[in-house]
């Protein structure tokens, strides 16, 4: 059974719309992350959360907003979508004290038309 669940696996959106990517992890980890992968940038770090608090934000645009309603949830809201936002978005988690040892979900592939 997958330990990190990402929903939806595939989604298509129109330019200017808004989408939410869902991530739940069942590994008991306290740190969660969002990464983006596209043809232009193989793996791009976006956000890190620890104990539901934002630790690091490397996303220049405020259109990307992580939301953590529970310890094991870290959703990603993307507003005013652009075609350049088309990518696969990966959620990941790690155990406290084991920085760098990430467990990734299978990704949500977003296509913006």
Partner 1 sequence: GDSVTQTEGQVALSEEDFLTIHCNYSASGYPTLFWYVQYPGEGPQLLFRASRDKEKGSSRGFEATYDKGTTSFHLRKASVQESDSAVYYCALSVDSNYQLIWGSGTKLIIKP
- Site residues for partner 1 per CB under 8 A: 4, 31, 33, 42-43, 45, 48, 50, 55-56, 58, 90, 92, 94, 99-107
Q: Classify 47 as helix, strand or coil.
A: strand
Q: How far is the CB of 69 from partner 1 (least distance, A)?
A: 21
Nearest to partner 1 of 19, 36 (CB atom)? 36
Q: How far is the CB of 87 from partner 1 (least distance, A)?
A: 13
**What is the Cα–Cα distance from 98 to 112, expressed in whole angstroms?**
35
Q: Which residues pair with 76 in a beta bridge?
A: 21, 66
**What is the Cα–Cα distance from 70 to 75, expressed in whole angstroms?**
10
Q: How far is the CB of 2 from partner 1 (least distance, A)?
A: 10
Dihedral pair phi/psi, residue 69, rounded to 5°: -85, -25
Taking the CA atoms of 84, 40, 9 and 102 in sequence, report the sign of the dihedral they define.
negative
Q: How far is the CB of 100 from partner 1 (least distance, A)?
A: 4
Nearest to partner 1 of 63, 104 (CB atom)? 104
Nearest to partner 1 of 17, 58 (CB atom)? 58
């Amino acid at each position: 059974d997958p330990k990190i669940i990402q929903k939806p696996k595939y989604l298509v959106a129109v330019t200017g719309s808004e989408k939410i990517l869902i991530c739940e992890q069942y590994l008991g980890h306290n740190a969660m992350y969002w990464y983006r992968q596209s043809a232009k940038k193989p793996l791009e770090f976006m956000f890190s959360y620890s104990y539901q608090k934002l630790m690091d934000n490397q996303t220049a645009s405020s259109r990307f907003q992580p939301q953590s309603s529970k310890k094991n949830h870290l959703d990603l809201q993307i507003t005013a979508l652009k075609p350049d936002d088309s990518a696969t978005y990966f959620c990941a988690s790690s155990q406290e004290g084991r920085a760098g040892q990430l467990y990734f979900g299978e990704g949500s592939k977003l296509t913006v038309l």
